[in-house]
Structure 1
Amino acid sequence: MRIHMNKNVQEKLYSFIVTNLPKEPLELLAQNIILKYGVVENFLEEELVVTPKARLRPQMRRYLIDEAFCTFGGEVCHTAPRGEHYIVNQFGDITLSHVEVPHGSKVRDATHRKLLSMNNALLEP
């Protein structure tokens, strides 16, 4: 039952995005993110021969995705207490950001993610 509910929410979210957010900037953002993933893979293959890549890959992806978001008007926001940052893009009343979660891992609680989710409360079922 839970999977069905999540799928329903996901479908509603997709529908909302398609009808309310500008298509072109989102497509360009997606293309830019794919390019950034390629930059990471090329760097790792060319520069790291002996050193394991498993820890550096997700870190590089995260920061290069941040760069992609900033290219499209993203704003750098700092966490409190300060020490990290996250990027947000505004599309009208919608706040867009990203979280890197390794496959099979659980998203940890974070104050800034709770604040972001409050911004998008109108999307809640």
Structure 2
Amino acid sequence: MKIGITGTPGTGKSAVCKILKKYYPVINLNQIIKDKKLYTGEDQQRNTLITDTDELIKYLSNYVKYWDVKKKTIFEGHLAHYLPLDVCIVLRTSPYELRIRLIKKGFDDAKINENVEAEALDVIL
């Protein structure tokens, strides 16, 4: 079974997956994007990579099509919902709480505002 854990950055994906990792394999999509160079460039303003979602889907679709359906695997990342999954769990939090978390993580104001707005407007859904 392929399970996705997705949500706006700061909603708790990594915290949840840290617990789940004790019981199931967890694939961190951000790490795969970096390691396999599945991006088209870097957004300097947001200090983030621009993911090539087509290449990510192609890479992971090839990876997961041979996956044992009885083996539960977690795919962690805010792009997990793009993958061919059996189940996708969307984590949510209040925009107020999200702002506090992102400030603690050191996000800049523009990125904080963008993610808080995305969470408030249900963009991930």
Superposition TM-score tier, normalisation by shorter sequence = 0.3 to 0.5
TM-score scaled by length of structure 2: 0.33
Greater relative CO, 1 or 2 (CA 8 Å, sep 6+)? 2
Normalising by structure 1, report the TM-score: 0.33
Find the structure with the greater CA-based Rg.
1
Instruction: Pick the structure with more strand per residue.
Output: 2
